[in-house]
Amino acid sequence: MAWSGYAAYSLTKFGVNGFTESLRQEVTQRHVRVGVLEPGGVETELGSHHRPEIRGEMIDPFYEVLAPEDIADGVAYMVTRPRHTSVGELWIMPTDQA
């Protein structure tokens, strides 16, 4: 999802998605699995880099955020699937994130 005030972030996120899917298609015949994990709100320092009005509108409304361990669990899930299974995209969101 793109948000006002997050142009550079959106550029990189959309770019990584496109790159990942292209790479997945290019190497699939070699049995290489490629996937992208897209987290929702995670407890990081990202919010501290914004002006207070942006933080108040975009970040502070999250009642609950994910812990870094939640994301690590998602990565572990992706890489431990059987060889014939590929998780191309995984979204992990806090339950209350719209």
The domain ranges of the chain are 7-92
Q: What is the pTM of this model?
A: 0.73
Burial 39-67 (b: 16+ CB within 10 A, else e): bbbbeeeeeeeeeeebeeebeeebeebbe
The catalytic position among 6, 9, 63, 77 is 9
pLDDT in tens, 12-68: 999 999 999 999 999 999 989 999 999 987 877 766 777 777 777 766 666 678 899
How would CATH label the architecture of 7-92? 3-Layer(aba) Sandwich (3.40)
The answer to whether 9 is a known catalytic residue is: yes
